Amino acid sequence: MELTKTVFGTYEGKDVHEYTLTNSKGVSISAMPLGATLTKLVTPDKDGKKENITLNVESLEDFVTHRPFYGATIGRVAGRITKGKYSLGDKEIQLDVNEGNNLLHGGPKGLDTKLWDVEANEDEGKLSFNYESPAGENGFPGTMQITVTYTLTEANEWVIDYTATTDETTLFNPTNHVYFNLAGDINKPILNHELELASRHYVPLAEENLPGGNLESVEGTPFDFTVLKPVKDAVLSDHPQIKPLNGLDHPFVLDQKDEVKARLYDSESKREVKLFTDCNSVVVFTHNGEVDDYTIDGGPAKQYAGITLETQTLPDAINQPGFGNIILKPEETFRSRTTYEFGVRN
């Protein structure tokens, strides 16, 4: 494994470095300590052409100013929390809201906005990001010690390991907000990418993109990805859950019996990503609008420029019975692993 380190920008007067790990097959991951953020992911296509297959900001300023979440670690709680509050026993906790009356992606100063400590281990192909989140940050109780470790393996896997502890009962449900574009060219929309999900239920969205609180079968709907099919078959459908959003932004419940939780494939480049995770869900968001507040690869971030596979416990779980447990107690250690495996399938 080869490790390189370059200055990506400055933040609060400090240099922020981009660390790049490259394996013997030429696959590389790059990441920075601001938001423990993936900044590039390079893999070969069918002809061995190595290209970045993720959406990333061009500058630290854009990342800080516009908070696009590209490749960022999201938390303490990913997704939306209704009215930014929850009840635990006889306590009602009001968090800091940052999207209308709701909390999105950890709140106004989520983990993606924080400068983490970083330890790089070239021999083991690991980047370990550590952050102490003080009690009360974004309204969450408890001081947390959070570690996110990125490992690049010789089997072309990006392994994400989360561990966290707290000194007071709190909530924790992190994800990585990576957007894939397997064409290696963000001017090629992901509409022709093919997706397969080990999922027979999804969560319809209610007002304000909040989870609706129930599970719907995917059978007979555009949400059925139980067999590999083009993303556009769903994204361009007139389904009442999709048309208003111009695409997907939905949680899918993952079948625990299937080892491979998702497959994303681009028939032109022949690149394929396989997803493995211990999480009970994955949020698929298809970048449904063009964003011209900043540029990526010299142009606006176009509609359908990328697709996320955000693994997590179902959003708003603390307020939705049956969605899973995101409560972390002082005597517990949170552990979760998500792996993206990259290859070419002819």
Applying CB under 6 A, the residues found at the interface with ligand G6D are 69, 209, 249, 285
- Residues identified as active-site: 177, 310
Nearest distance from C-beta of residue 333 to ligand G6D, angstroms: 27
Whether 16 contacts 30, CB under 8 Å: no
CB of 69 to ligand G6D, least distance (A): 5
- With contact defined as beta carbons under 8 Å apart, do 80 and 210 qualify? yes
**DSSP label of 139:** G
- Indicate left, alpha or beta for 218 from its phi (over 0: left) and psi (-120 to 50: alpha): alpha
Helix (H) or strand (E) holding 61: helix 60-66
Q: Which residues, including other chains, have CB under 8 Å from residue 216's CB and lie 6 or more apart?
A: 201, 202, 203, 204, 223
Look at residue 160 and give its three-state secondary structure.
Answer: strand
Per-residue H/E/C for 259-317: CCCEEEECCCCCEEEEEEECCCEEEEECCCCCEEEEEECCEEECCCCCEECEEECCCCH
For residues 182 and 190, what is the distance between their CA atoms, to the nearest angstrom?
A: 8
Least distance (Å) from ligand G6D to the CB of residue 253?
A: 16
Helix (H, G, I), strand (E, B) or coil at 143: coil
What are the structure tokens assigned to 85, written together? 């509050």
Minimum CB distance to ligand G6D smaller for 99 or for 268: 99
Nearer to ligand G6D, 116 or 285 (CB): 285
Smallest distance, Å, CB 239 to ligand G6D? 17
Nearest Cα to Cα of residue 315 among 240, 181, 226, 212: 212
By C-beta, is 225 or 285 nearer to ligand G6D? 285
Q: How far apart are CB 53 and ligand G6D at their closest, in Å?
A: 18
